[in-house]
C-alpha cells in the first residue's frame, strides 16, 4: 500500500494482476449487457462525459430529480446485476469486513471523458469507506481535501490499481482530469472502467 499526504487516502498500485484484471473485466462486461451503460444528466441538465451503470441492490443515479440511490436501472427499469465476488472479496479485505457494500457504481470513460472535483456524500453513513478499482486505460486522478479550494495533488491510476477514501479523507474532493487513451490493452473497445464500491444505505442493526 502506498500512502499519500492526504489523510484517509490509501493507494494499492497493481493490486490486481493481469489475470485478475481480465477475469474481473469479463464479469463486468457480462453484467453491463444486462444493465447497459447510459449517459446521465446532472440536476442542472448538463450531460456527464462518462457513461454509467451500477451493480448491487442500490445504484447511484443523477437526473433532474437530484443525486440519489435507486434499486432499478433508470432506462430499463430492471434491478441492477449483482456485485462480482472478486469485488466483494476486495471490500472485505480493504474496505469494511463487518458491513458489506450495497452499491457498485460503474463509470465508463472514453478518451474525452472527465470527472470534476466532487465529494461522495449521498450515502447514509460516512463512516464506511469508498473503495475504487481501475480497469483499462490509465486515468490522471486528482485528490484534494475535505474543503473545496484546499491544495490538490494528482497521480496516475493504472489498470489493476485500487484506492480507498476512509476516515478523515472519506469526504475528500476528488476527480479525473483526463484519460490516457491507448495506455492499456485490457478492454478491446479501449477506454477505462472505474468500479466504486460503497455502503449507500444504513447498516443493518
Domains of the chain: 2-187 (2.60.120.590)
Nearest by Cα to 81 from 132, 39, 35: 35
pLDDT digits (tens, 9 = 90+) for 65-90: 999 999 999 999 999 999 999 999 99
Q: Output the pLDDT for position 57.
A: 98
pLDDT digits (tens, 9 = 90+) for 95-139: 999 999 999 999 999 999 999 999 999 999 999 999 999 999 999
Q: Output the pLDDT for position 71.
A: 98
Q: Is 183 exposed, middle or buried (0-12, 13-18, 19+ CB in 10 A)?
A: middle
Lowest model confidence (mean pLDDT) among 5-9, 140-144, 162-166 = 5-9
In terms of DSSP H, where are the helices of the chain?
18-34, 85-94
Q: Output the pLDDT for position 4.
A: 53
Quick one: average pLDDT of 171-181? 98
> Per-residue confidence at 140, pLDDT binned at 50, 70, 90?
very high
> Per-residue confidence at 203, pLDDT binned at 50, 70, 90?
confident
pTM here is: 0.95
Report how far residue 154's alpha carbon sits from residue 16's, in angstroms, rounded to the nearest whole number. 21
pLDDT digits (tens, 9 = 90+) for 155-173: 999 999 999 999 999 999 9
| pLDDT at 201 > cutoff 60 | yes
In degrees rounded to 5, what are phi and psi of residue 3?
-100, 130
Taking all residues of the chain, what is their mean pLDDT, rounded to a whole number? 95
CB 69 within 8 A of CB 103: yes
Residue where the block lists cell 457480462: 30
Residues in a beta bridge with 55: 104
Amino acid at each position: 500500500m502506498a500512502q499519500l499526504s492526504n489523510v484517509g487516502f490509501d493507494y494499492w498500485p497493481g493490486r490486481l494482476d493481469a489475470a485478475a484484471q481480465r477475469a474481473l473485466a469479463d464479469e463486468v462486461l457480462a453484467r453491463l449487457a444486462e444493465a447497459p451503460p447510459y449517459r446521465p444528466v446532472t440536476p442542472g441538465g448538463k450531460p456527464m462525459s462518462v457513461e454509467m451503470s451500477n451493480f448491487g441492490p442500490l445504484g447511484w443515479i443523477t437526473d433532474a430529480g437530484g443525486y440519489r440511490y435507486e434499486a432499478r436501472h433508470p432506462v430499463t427499469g430492471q434491478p441492477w446485476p449483482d456485485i462480482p465476488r472478486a469485488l466483494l472479496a476486495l471490500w472485505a479485505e480493504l474496505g469494511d469486513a463487518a458491513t458489506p457494500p450495497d452499491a457498485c457504481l460503474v463509470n465508463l470513460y472514453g478518451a474525452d471523458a472527465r470527472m470534476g472535483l466532487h465529494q461522495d456524500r449521498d450515502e447514509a453513513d460516512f463512516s464506511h469507506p469508498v473503495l475504487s478499482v481501475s480497469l483499462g486505460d490509465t486515468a490522471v486522478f486528482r485528490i484534494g481535501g475535505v474543503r473545496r479550494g484546499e491544495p490538490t495533488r494528482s497521480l496516475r491510476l493504472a489498470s489493476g490499481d485500487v484506492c480507498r477514501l476512509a476516515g478523515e479523507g472519506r469526504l475528500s474532493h476528488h476527480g479525473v482530469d483526463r484519460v490516457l487513451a491507448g495506455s492499456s490493452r485490457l478492454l478491446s473497445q479501449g477506454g477505462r472502467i472505474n468500479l466504486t464500491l460503497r455502503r449507500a444505505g444504513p447498516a443493518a442493526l
